[in-house]
């Protein structure tokens, strides 16, 4: 793998996670991760069994691979939320590990030790610690963005789209951002870009009609960062969680607080049951192809092995103008017309069994092997520990992936399954794949519901609600409002009238900037 390659989500270790793995002498504590149930027996089945269950190198008929003649089906959840879940995961597991960060920015110690929804994947820690993220020529309160390049056959290459259509990149095309994982595919890189544009749009808003939102002794930059974080945290709690998690579990957590994961009094850290298993449920929501805009329609997530130069969404380089994401295609803007995500089931899209990486190419195999390496207990044992009746494997059905695999290895009576698999199968069994079941919801929601002292539930005035304009007619403030407001951003007061595809030039008028 060369320096240009970007590791896929789930394809690399979160730094510090293995330090929290169970050992014969108990867990090794990490300041970033911890094991919630170190006394549970690990799910320690033979590696060949896990490879059979997860499939290897895209082999046809892998138990956890969706087949064309038996598709998983769609949910009511828009496809953009699977990508958003990935973005949230990158936020709370961010680790600024370079020596220069540790020497020059003591605040980084706090940020990388906590699972706070503080968007350090967007901001790192502050403008002084990460000056390369900000536009010091035009407006140092704004984040730098870049321009999409010409699609094949349009112009002579190079910058093509208006500013704010791609991330800022160096001369080799590598994104210069707070977390390089957010350039692993075009859709997640465009979501990173949307949050950068959201920040920049808020800066403009605070210098105009929203000036009253700047608090006393607060700069415009500080106010913009606070509002970005608070609106993002609101969307996680009031938009993402209700769409994907068991509502009875959410109501219980809201009423009684955390019962198992990050309970009161424990220093915040990431449970490996979350990072190594439960939050990887989002892999089952990822589509083989995404409907990115009206011009190109659905585009494959990864290149194929056919050798053809097909259009795809593999990241790690400049985004072409024909792949700039129209978020109204992937989110509900109020009209109900959007591409839906896949159901949450123990079946993954075929593209995820042929990852363009070295080593195991099946994401399912990678997840299952990671769970074993971390010494995670079985899904059934974790279910019992958090107070739910475990679902035995046979209840998932004789033709379920786990039962087919166990029979193939002469273990048909084995009642247990890996925690990651159990979370997916439970969602199918209890919720028909529309959202997570009880155990998955408990682990993930208790980890995500914000405990950080600077988060809006703890730092905002009582009964605070989103204070920015709501551009879409949705029921409540949603992720679609963030992306729609972000799309209104104008670089340095330049109002874009049109992009001339023939000459690759931008026509517009300059307004007076404030």
Q: How far is 303 from 5, CA to CA, in rounded Å?
A: 14
Do residues 471 and 488 lie in contact, with contact meaning Cβ atoms separated by under 8 Å? yes
Mean pLDDT, range 81-96, rounded to an integer: 83
347-387 pLDDT, tens per residue? 999 889 888 887 888 999 999 999 999 999 999 999 999 99
Weakest mean pLDDT among 11-20, 79-88, 272-281, 376-385: 11-20
pLDDT at 186 over 50: yes
Please report the pLDDT score of residue 501 as a whole number.
43
Of 478, 514, 464, 467, which Cα lies nearest the Cα of 493?
Answer: 514
Q: Which of 369, 343, 345 is nearest to 423 (CA)?
A: 345
pLDDT beyond 80 at 505: no
Task: Give pLDDT, residue 448.
Answer: 87
What dihedral angle (degrees, nearest 10) is formed by the CA atoms of 116, 118, 121, 127? -130
- Beta pairing partners, 289: 300
Concatenated DSSP letters of 188-255: HHHHHHHHHHHHHHHHHHHTTTTGGGSPTT--HHHHHHHHHHHHHHHHIIIIIHHHHS-HHHHHHHHH
Q: Which residue has the higher pLDDT, 106 or 64?
A: 64
Q: Break the chain into its structural domains and give their ranges.
A: 18-493
Task: Indicate whether 307 pLDDT > 70.
Answer: no
pLDDT band at 127 (very low <50, low <70, confident <90, very high): confident
How do residues 259-304 score in pLDDT, each as one tens digit?
898 756 666 678 889 989 999 999 999 998 999 999 898 999 988 6
Q: Supply the DSSP symbol for 318.
A: P
Q: Each residue of 119-143: b (16+ CB within 10 Å) or e?
A: bbbbbbbbbebbeebbbeeebebbb
> Does residue 165 contact residue 319 with C-beta atoms inside 8 Å?
yes
Q: Read off the pLDDT band of 2 (50, 70, 90).
A: very low
- Consecutive H or E run containing 102: helix 99-104
Strand partners, 300: 289, 312
pLDDT for 437: 98
pLDDT of residue 266: 66
CA dist., res. 378 & res. 22, Å (int): 13
Return the pLDDT at 63.
Answer: 94
Look at residue 111 in the predicted model and tell me its pLDDT.
32
C-alpha span between 419 and 442 (Å, rounded):
13
Q: What's domain 18-493's architecture?
A: Orthogonal Bundle (1.10)
The yes-or-no verdict on residue 110 having pLDDT over 60 is no
Residues 6+ positions from 441 with CB-CB distance below 8 Å: 245, 246, 249, 250, 435
- The closest of 204, 88, 281 to 487, measured between CA atoms, is 204
Span 56-68, mean pLDDT?
Answer: 79
As a whole number, the mean pLDDT across the chain is 83
Burial class (CB in 10 A: 0-12, 13-18, 19+), 101: buried
The predicted-structure confidence for 140-165, as pLDDT tens digits, reads as follows 999 999 999 988 756 555 555 677 89
pLDDT tens string 317-353? 999 999 999 999 999 999 999 999 999 999 999 889 8
Q: Taking a C-beta distance cutoff of 8 angstroms, is the pair 317, 173 a contact?
A: yes
Q: What pLDDT score does 263 carry?
A: 59
Q: Tell me the pLDDT band of 398, cut-offs 50, 70 and 90.
A: very high
Strands 33-34, 26-27: pairing is: unpaired
Q: In the structure, what pLDDT confidence band is assigned to residue 189 with cuts at 50, 70 and 90?
A: very high
Q: Give the three-class secondary structure for 391.
A: coil
CA distance 179 to 168: 13
CA 206/CA 514 separation, integer angstroms: 10
Report pLDDT digits (tens) over 197-223.
999 999 999 999 999 999 999 999 999
């Amino acid at each position: 793998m060369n320096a240009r390659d970007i590791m896929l989500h789930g394809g690399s270790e979160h730094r510090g996670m293995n330090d929290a793995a169970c050992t014969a002498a108990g867990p090794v504590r990490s300041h970033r991760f911890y094991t919630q149930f170190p006394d549970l027996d690990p799910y320690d089945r033979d590696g060949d069994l896990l490879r059979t269950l997860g499939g290897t190198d895209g082999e046809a008929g892998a138990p956890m691979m969706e087949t064309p003649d038996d598709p998983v089906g769609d949910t009511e959840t828009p496809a953009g939320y699977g990508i958003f879940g990935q973005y949230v995961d990158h936020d709370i597991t961010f680790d600024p590990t370079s020596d220069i960060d540790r020497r020059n920015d003591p605040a980084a110690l706090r940020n990388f030790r906590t699972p706070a929804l503080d968007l350090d994947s967007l901001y790192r820690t502050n403008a002084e610690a990460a000056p390369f993220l900000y536009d010091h020529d035009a407006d140092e309160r704004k984040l730098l963005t870049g321009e999409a390049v010409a699609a094949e056959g349009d112009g002579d290459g190079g910058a093509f789209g208006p500013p704010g259509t791609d991330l800022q990149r160096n001369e080799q095309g590598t994104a210069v951002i707070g977390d390089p994982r957010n350039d692993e595919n075009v859709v997640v890189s465009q979501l990173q870009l949307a949050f950068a544009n959201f920040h920049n749009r808020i800066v403009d808003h605070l210098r105009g009609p929203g000036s009253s939102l700047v608090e006393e002794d607060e700069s415009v930059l500080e106010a913009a960062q606070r509002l970005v974080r608070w609106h993002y945290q609101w969307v996680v709690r009031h938009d993402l969680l209700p769409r994907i998690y068991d509502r009875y579990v959410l109501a219980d957590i809201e009423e009684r607080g955390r019962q198992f994961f990050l309970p009161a009094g424990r220093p915040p850290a990431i449970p490996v049951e979350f990072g190594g298993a439960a939050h990887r449920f989002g892999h089952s929501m990822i589509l083989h192809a995404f409907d990115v805009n009206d011009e190109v329609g659905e585009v494959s997530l990864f290149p194929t092995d056919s050798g053809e130069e097909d259009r795809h969404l593999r990241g790690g380089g400049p985004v072409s103008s024909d792949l700039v994401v129209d978020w109204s295609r992937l989110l509900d803007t109020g009209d109900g017309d959007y591409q839906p995500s896949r159901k949450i089931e123990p079946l993954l899209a075929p593209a995820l069994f042929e990852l363009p990486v070295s080593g195991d190419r099946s994401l399912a195999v990678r997840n299952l092997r990671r769970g074993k390496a971390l010494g995670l207990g079985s899904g059934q044992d974790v279910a019992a520990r958090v107070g739910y009746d475990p679902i035995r494997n046979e209840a998932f059905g004789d033709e379920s992936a786990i039962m087919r695999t166990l029979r193939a290895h002469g273990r048909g009576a084995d009642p247990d399954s890996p925690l990651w698999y159990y979370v997916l199968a439970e969602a199918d069994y209890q919720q028909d794949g529309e959202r997570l079941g009880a155990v998955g919801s408990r682990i993930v929601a208790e980890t995500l519901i914000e405990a950080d002292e600077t988060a809006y539930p703890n730092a905002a005035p009582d009964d605070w609600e989103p204070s920015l304009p709501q551009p879409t007619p949705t029921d409540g403030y949603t992720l679609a409002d963030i992306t729609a407001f972000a799309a209104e951003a104008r670089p340095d007061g330049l109002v874009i009238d049109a992009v001339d595809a023939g000459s690759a030039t931008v026509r517009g008028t300059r307004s007076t900037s404030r």
